[in-house]
Amino acid sequence: MSDSLQQPAPLTQRPSRWLHNLSAKLASLPMVLTALVVFVGCTVWTVFYSFTNSRLLPDASKFSLKQYEYLWTQRRWLISIENLAVYGALSLIFSLVIGFFLAALLDRKIRGEAIFRTIFLYPFALSFIITGLAWQWLLNPDFGIQANIRALGWESFSLDPLNNPDLVIYGILIAGVWQGTGLIMCIMLAGLRGIDEDIWKAARVDGISTVKTYLKIIIPMLRPVFITALVLISAGIIKVYDLVVAQTSGGPGLSSQVPAMYVFDKMFKDQNLAQGFAASTMMLVSVMIVLIPWAYLEFGGKKHAR
Amino acid sequence: MHAETLEPHGPKPKRHFSRTNIMLYGTLLLISIYYLMPLWVMVMTSLKGMPEVRLGHIFAPPIEVTFEPWVKAWSQACTGINCDGLSRGFWNSVQILIPSAVLSIMVASVNGYALANWKFKGSEVFFTILMLGAFIPYQIMIYPIVILLRELGLYGGLSGLVLVHTIFGMPILTLLFRNYFAGIPEELFKAARVDGAGFWRIYFRVLLPMSLPIFVVAIILQTTGIWNDFLFGVIYTKPDLYPMTVQLNNIVNSVQGVKEYNVNMAATLLTGAVPLLIYLVSGKLFVRGIAAGAVKG
């Protein structure tokens, strides 16, 4: 949204403003329809109906805040929110730290960089379903990592998060981080490659250690890259659904439920539409809490925009 | 160790076996194990018979290699009603993927072109809405879209899903094409206009021939995205028409019968084969695709 090309000056002034540039307007119709009908229209529709009592079918005969009051008394929803918060915070930290760490390692002028990059990024090509199923198998207590380490003689070793309500979200986290850090690494690496070689030389001349150079000079310079990564990860976190469906189906019990699952079940299984609408509206609100400050920083102060 | 293969620019490290280097490569190798472990275990499990799987040595290569799980996953595995394996889902996915990718890329490239070269009043506003739309959780839009598709008579069929993929692919693809076309020298565009070429003529004759790389990036982006989709497949198609990713989940997580882990892993690998292949073949372009989509977002 930054680099805009100047509009070509109209060569002749057409009689009607509407007919001017008609082909371009027609060609943009899909975009306009998507933006207005789907992104704005559907969102507004759902928010509107979240204030109703719609059950099996949308029904706008009564309006109240009942759905929201009910939502926040639901144990399942509260667990979902808590899981999302834990998963979100930890996956943000881990993705950023590991992603940056990997990028920094790859930026050390190593041999075989392409091979390592391929290894770290390939999970990102795979779906969350595949990620979830693969880690479900690895974390299977009877066959997976736990069983194999015990077989080596460490009898008390335990790694069985998926069957433990207190730990299940960390089991999902392991899989999520495995899938997603490659992308963050790529973004960070692109950022690191954009840093002037002279800065490294200057730091070396001044006798600043490598670690210190990263912490004190490079990371502050990469602020915009970190913010982009942050926004990307956050936007992905709120949508987390497939991974949980594949890995645990929300269990054991309700312990790995996430908001997207609540929404899906209310809308398509429990015939409680308005409740699903209210829950999805809350999801939108939480995205906006992240997005608005970012948009303000990124586009509000035009001076920083490239 | 003195080969000059894969040497990036910049000065060579002085000693190859310095302590830092050993630590550096050691760390990289260790992390590589974490990343490769799931793939290794999946492949090994899928090549074993069930008796061998039950021994529990998931990291060990198979004593006796068998391809039976792969055959079974492809043609016999059950999902509720049907027992014709993943092949059904594969062909469904192909039928969803091709029109979705073609349609979404066509629409988005023309959109991006209009936005870059033929701005009109309000075009930037719509573009901004489109970009913000990429951040709206899908969950808030899925139900009204069900209604829209039902009104159009497309709900439950493949064409409805194609439309949905086209819509949700639009923000990122439009951005991709808009930025690419905006980077093409303006003189080229002006020269074509002076020669009397109009909107479509410039698009087809001038821009398309020089935009092959960005189209490849878009194809990679869409193919992996659509193939890996789960949510839209579940909501907008009937069980008979479920795409491969949805079917995979139903096969592996089905509660009936004895769990055949080797078949499950073969099924998982079969489903992952398409995006994985694209990733390995496309290499740098894949990176470029996600970077282009991500960084500029």
For the domain made up of B86-295, the CATH class stated in words is mainly alpha
pLDDT in tens, B11-61: 555 555 678 888 889 999 999 999 999 999 999 999 998 888 888 888 888
What's CA B277's distance to the chain center, in Å? 11
Q: Which of A23, A110, A281 is closest, CB to CB, to B198?
A: A23
Q: What is the pLDDT of residue B20?
A: 81
pLDDT in tens, A63-86: 889 899 999 999 999 999 999 999
For residues B120 and A175, the model is more confident at A175
Residue B81 has pLDDT above 80, yes or no: no
Per-residue pLDDT, averaged over A88-96, amounts to 93
pLDDT in tens, B137-162: 999 999 999 999 999 999 988 999 99
SS3 B237: strand
Q: What is the pLDDT of residue B82?
A: 73
Residue A46 has pLDDT above 80, yes or no: yes
Per-residue pLDDT, averaged over B214-222, amounts to 89
**Cβ-defined contact of A228 to B295 (cutoff 8 Å):** yes
Q: What is the pLDDT of residue B296?
A: 40
Nearest residue in chain B measured CA to CA from A189: B291
Amino acid at A39: F
Range from A8-12, A258-262, B283-287 carrying the lowest mean pLDDT: A8-12
pLDDT band at A151 (very low <50, low <70, confident <90, very high): confident
Nearest residue in chain A measured CA to CA from B272: A126
Q: Which of A7, A143, A280 is closest, CB to CB, to B261?
A: A143
Q: What is the pLDDT of residue A126?
A: 93
Q: What is the pLDDT of residue B9?
A: 60
What's CA A27's distance to the chain center, in Å? 31
Q: What is the pLDDT of residue B3?
A: 45
The count of residues in chain B is 297
Asked whether the beta carbons of B128 and B134 are under 8 A apart, the reply is no
pLDDT band at B1 (very low <50, low <70, confident <90, very high): very low
pLDDT band at A43 (very low <50, low <70, confident <90, very high): very high
Q: What is the pLDDT of residue B282?
A: 86
Per-residue pLDDT, averaged over A42-49, amounts to 95
Per-residue pLDDT, averaged over A133-149, amounts to 90
For residues B16 and A230, the model is more confident at A230
Q: Measuring CA to CA, which residue among A281, A274, A245 is closest to residue A261?
A: A245
Which token pair is A266?
């209310």
**Mean predicted lDDT score pLDDT of chain B:** 86
Give the separation between CA B35 and CA B41, rounded to whole angstroms. Answer: 11
Interface mutation target, options A21, A44, A133, chain B, most CBs of B under 10 Å: A133
Per-residue pLDDT, averaged over B164-170, amounts to 93
Q: Which of A11, A17, A126 is closest, CB to CB, to B272?
A: A126
For residues A297 and A134, the model is more confident at A134
Amino acid at B289: G
The CA-atom distances, in angstroms, between B5 and each of A106, B9, B11 are 16, 11, 14
Q: What is the pLDDT of residue A73?
A: 93
Count interface pairs A-B at CB distance under 8 A: 288
Residue A282 has pLDDT above 50, yes or no: yes
SS3 B156: strand
Q: Which residues contact B4 (CB under 8 A, 6 or more apart)?
A: none
**Cβ-defined contact of A37 to B286 (cutoff 8 Å):** no
For residues A22 and B95, the model is more confident at B95
pLDDT in tens, B92-101: 999 999 999 9
Of chain A, the percentage scoring pLDDT greater than 90 comes to: 46
Per-residue pLDDT, averaged over A275-279, amounts to 95
**Cβ-defined contact of B278 to A125 (cutoff 8 Å):** yes
**Mean predicted lDDT score pLDDT of chain A:** 86
Q: Which of B179, B189, B295 is closest, CB to CB, to A190?
A: B295
**Cβ-defined contact of A127 to B199 (cutoff 8 Å):** no
Neighboring chain A residues of B126 at a CB cutoff of 8 Å: 28, 31-32, 35-36
Measure A23 CA to nearest chain B CA, in Å. Answer: 6
Q: Which of B115, B116, B145 is closest, CB to CB, to A42?
A: B145
Residue A16 has pLDDT above 70, yes or no: no
Nearest residue in chain B measured CA to CA from A99: B31
pLDDT band at A21 (very low <50, low <70, confident <90, very high): confident
The residue ranges of every structural domain in chain A are 25-66, 69-300
Name the β-bridge partners of A191: none
The CA-atom distances, in angstroms, between A221 and each of A189, A218, B283 are 13, 5, 28
Interface mutation target, options A127, A189, A239, A244, chain B, most CBs of B under 10 Å: A127
Interface mutation target, options A16, A50, A111, chain B, most CBs of B under 10 Å: A111
Q: What is the pLDDT of residue A304?
A: 44
The per-residue b/e assignment along B61-76, b for 16 or more CB within 10 angstroms, e otherwise, is ebeeeeeebbebbbee
The CA-atom distances, in angstroms, between A300 and each of A293, A294, B80 are 9, 9, 53
Hey, which of A19-23, A298-302, B185-189, B233-237 has the most confident mean pLDDT? B233-237
Asked whether the beta carbons of B221 and B290 are under 8 A apart, the reply is yes
Asked whether the beta carbons of A139 and A161 are under 8 A apart, the reply is yes
Give the separation between CA A69 and CA A268, rounded to whole angstroms. Answer: 21
For residues A98 and B292, the model is more confident at A98
Range from A182-196, A269-283, B144-158 carrying the lowest mean pLDDT: A182-196
Nearest residue in chain B measured CA to CA from A147: B56
Q: What is the pLDDT of residue A300?
A: 64
Measure A153 CA to nearest chain B CA, in Å. Answer: 14
Hey, which of A149-153, B126-130, B217-221, B232-236 has the most confident mean pLDDT? B232-236
Per CATH, domain A69-300 is 3.30.70.2190: no
Range from A231-235, B113-117, B182-186 carrying the lowest mean pLDDT: A231-235
**Cβ-defined contact of A127 to B245 (cutoff 8 Å):** yes
Q: DSSP letter string over B58-113? A: TTSPPSS---HHHHHHHHT--BTTB-S-HHHHHHHHHHHHHHHHHHHHHHHHHHHH
Q: What is the pLDDT of residue B295?
A: 43
pLDDT band at A193 (very low <50, low <70, confident <90, very high): confident
Q: What is the pLDDT of residue A5?
A: 46
Q: What is the pLDDT of residue A194?
A: 85
What are the two backbone dihedrals, phi and then psi, of residue B220, each rounded to the nearest 5 degrees? -60, -50
Which token pair is A117?
């990059």
